[in-house]
Amino acid sequence: QVQVVESGGGLVQAGGSLRLSCAASGGTFSRYTMGWFRQAPGKDRDFVAHISRSGGRPYYADSVKGRFTISRDNAKNTVYLQMNSLKPEDTAVYYCAAAGSGSDYYTYSGYDYWGQGTQVTVSP
């Protein structure tokens, strides 16, 4: 059983930056593909980014490509999401997730373990 805990959310003005962290425990971190999703009020939980076990292959939603960067440090059992040039439409609860052997890392169902989420609010 893997536990993941997100941190780093907060309130920021449009154009600003935040870095989210997700610390994992209870499993072999390097065996999991890690993903970030977000959910705005009244909307579905949407894919943001995912990164392969070794960290060599990141993938992004079109809406964040060029602004967000996902990375991981397997020695620290942590995955990060660096968010730059934030926009009000990025406001959401951001979730970290771990996938042991999923076939679709772009969807909710592809992940086995989820954190509780961290709120990101971007003011105009």
Give the DSSP H or E segment for 54. Answer: none
- pLDDT higher than threshold 90 for residue 13: yes
State pLDDT tens for residues 28-73: 999 999 999 999 999 999 999 999 999 888 999 999 999 999 999 9
Distance from the Cα of residue 44 to its chain's centroid: 15
How far is Cα 84 from Cα 87, in angstroms, rounded to an integer? 9
- Average of per-residue pLDDT values in the chain: 95
- pLDDT higher than threshold 80 for residue 84: yes
How far is Cα 48 from Cα 63, in angstroms, rounded to an integer? 8
